[in-house]
Amino acid sequence: MIIVTGAAGFIGSCLISKLNQENFNFIIAVDDFSNPEKEANLTGKRIQERVDREVFFDWLDQNYQEVEFIFHIGARTDTTEFDWHIFEHLNVEYSKQIWNRCIEYQIPLVYASSAATYGLGELGYDDNESLVSQLKPLNPYGESKNVFDRWALEQERKPFFWAGLKFFNVYGPNEYHKSRMASVIFHAFNQINQSGRMKLFRSHNPDFADGEQMRDFVYVKDVIEVCSFLMHHRRNSGIYNLGSGKARTFLDLAKNTFYALDLEPQIDFIDTPVDIRDKYQYFTQANMSKLRSIGYDRPFCSLEEGIADYVKNYLSKGHYL
């Protein structure tokens, strides 16, 4: 029996698809199931039971003996939300309760952290745990993830295996419901379909030309491969980056979305909104050497491969993973 929190969301539902492919069919899906737009993410998946996130701990206290692994993917991920109490409840205190029960019930744990913990990258993008207390996230979402990472590292008692994954810019199937928080590729696809053109933010940093701002974009299929690896590995507990390890420009992203649609690129530049300009990241790139050092040797999809697969096999057809 494997528990996935955030089961109806983007990464959680893709992870369930991967687990089903590996013949793990006793899946306990934990989420707030009130959003009908997320329902299609779970259609056709083999799930033993759905448990509302607010009654999950009562359920776990009664059924822990059957649980083999917990993937805690669920979180409030809205970077434009500034009510700290929401993040404190869902991202910090909820995660602490899962952590403590994994200790009590001897259940291994993988949980979702975020590259948002790195802020503007003043200390780089290295998953060195000694740096976690010095990081300066730019918003309450990133702060909530870093608060929990710090707390986890400070604990004397830990689950016998645990891993916190700092997701970088994840894109791919099953993000139809995410509206403004969906990936840039999702928005690019929709803009191009509607207008034949794509808008990118102009650079307000003299070190970067327009469209040359860079991010570490990682395909969700790679993310769930890493999750599966860690579930089977169950050694080398700690916090790990999870990106592709290679920064690419927004211009590369836009052009490849056009190419996947067999169109010539038509790109316009607009000013970055003033209210986010001073917190805008111009470069992120995950140092992936730590994950590699524990034996993860699969290659990551290139941006070209990931976008082609996502656009042609999912977005263009309205398909889900």
Active centre residues (catalytic): 141, 178
Q: Is 235 annotated as a binding residue?
A: no
Residues 319 and 204: their CA atoms lie apart, in Å, by 37
Q: Is 145 annotated as a binding residue?
A: yes
Q: Is 38 annotated as a binding residue?
A: yes
Residues 6+ apart with CB under 8 A from 247: 214, 215, 216, 283, 284, 285
User: Which candidate, 213, 299, 239, 238, places its Cα nearest to that of 114?
Assistant: 239
Q: Is 240 annotated as a binding residue?
A: no
Residues 6+ apart with CB under 8 A from 34: none
User: Which candidate, 149, 10, 182, 160, places its Cα nearest to that of 70?
Assistant: 160
Q: Is 204 annotated as a binding residue?
A: yes
Q: Is 170 annotated as a binding residue?
A: yes
User: Which candidate, 299, 198, 291, 312, places its Cα nearest to that of 252?
Assistant: 198
Residues 263 and 266: their CA atoms lie apart, in Å, by 9
Q: Is 188 annotated as a binding residue?
A: no
Phi, psi (rounded to 5 degrees) for 268? -115, 150
Residues 191 and 263: their CA atoms lie apart, in Å, by 13
Q: Please answer whether residues 200 and 269 qualify as being in contact, where contact means their C-beta atoms are separated by less than 8 angstroms.
A: yes
By DSSP bridging, strand 248-249 and strand 214-215 are antiparallel
Q: Is 98 annotated as a binding residue?
A: no
Residues 54 and 234: their CA atoms lie apart, in Å, by 28
Question: CA 158, 100, 6 angle in degrees (round to 5)?
Answer: 105
Q: Is 234 annotated as a binding residue?
A: no
Q: Is 86 annotated as a binding residue?
A: no
Name residue 210's amino acid: D
Q: Is 53 annotated as a binding residue?
A: yes
Q: Is 10 annotated as a binding residue?
A: yes
Q: Is 161 annotated as a binding residue?
A: no
Q: Is 74 annotated as a binding residue?
A: yes
Q: Is 89 annotated as a binding residue?
A: no
As annotated, the binding site includes 10-11, 31-32, 38, 53, 73-77, 145, 169-170, 178, 180, 187, 201-204, 215, 280
As annotated, the binding site for substrate includes 169, 180, 187, 201-204, 215, 280
As annotated, the binding site for NADP(+) includes 10-11, 31-32, 38, 53, 73-77, 145, 170, 178
